[in-house]
Amino acid sequence: MGKILIAYYSRKGQNYVSGAIKDLKVGNTAVAAEMLEALTGGDLFEIDTVAAYPLDYKEATEVAQKELRAGARPALTAQVAGMEDYDAIILGYPNWWGTMPMAVYTFLEAYDFSGKKILPFCTHEGSGLGRSEKEIEKLCPDAAVLKGLAIHGTGVVGAGQALEKWLKQAGIK
């Protein structure tokens, strides 16, 4: 497969988990990204915003919804050095309002993914991948966007076998 980048956005702190608000020391998407790093030996890159979201879950979702409606592109704290060297990008994010957080849009618009494979995965609490795969295809028309994987947030710790199977189907493992 060549060189692999695991780029992800994750929210730690207050999150909606199985019908209740819980405080997560590590966000669900970060847990899965670290598992993927161990499975693939790929390089890990956290997509993070310059302006932090509110700590309160309800307030954070309101900000996220406003960003989505406005088509916002939040500034990111870092860029990937040598993106041209990667052949495959495993892209992780939580499902926010049926798609990716707007920071992931910022990330995808910052690079040329021509000829690269993008493997999307998301964590969710019941809404799966939503329309995120189609959005990635629109943003990266010259990349091969492979079948994504939706991981229920409460089951992320036990998702190792599902991640391995998904990677094998994509020809990475």
- For the chain, give every domain's residue range: 4-169
Per residue in 142-171, pLDDT (tens digit) is: 999 999 999 998 889 999 999 999 999 999
Written as one string, the DSSP assignment of 64-106 is HHHHHHHT----BS---TTGGG-SEEEEEEE-BTTB--HHHHH
Integer Cα distance of 54 and 6 in angstroms: 26
Domain at 4-169: CATH code: 3.40.50.360
End-to-end C-alpha distance for the chain, whole angstroms: 9
Q: Is the pTM of this model over 0.75?
A: yes
- pLDDT given for residue 1 in this prediction: 64
The token pair that represents 95 in the structure block: 């499902």
3-state SS, residue 161: helix
> What are 118-130's pLDDT values in tens digits?
999 999 988 899 9
Stretch 44-50: mean pLDDT = 98
Average pLDDT, the chain: 95
Residue 154, pLDDT score: 86
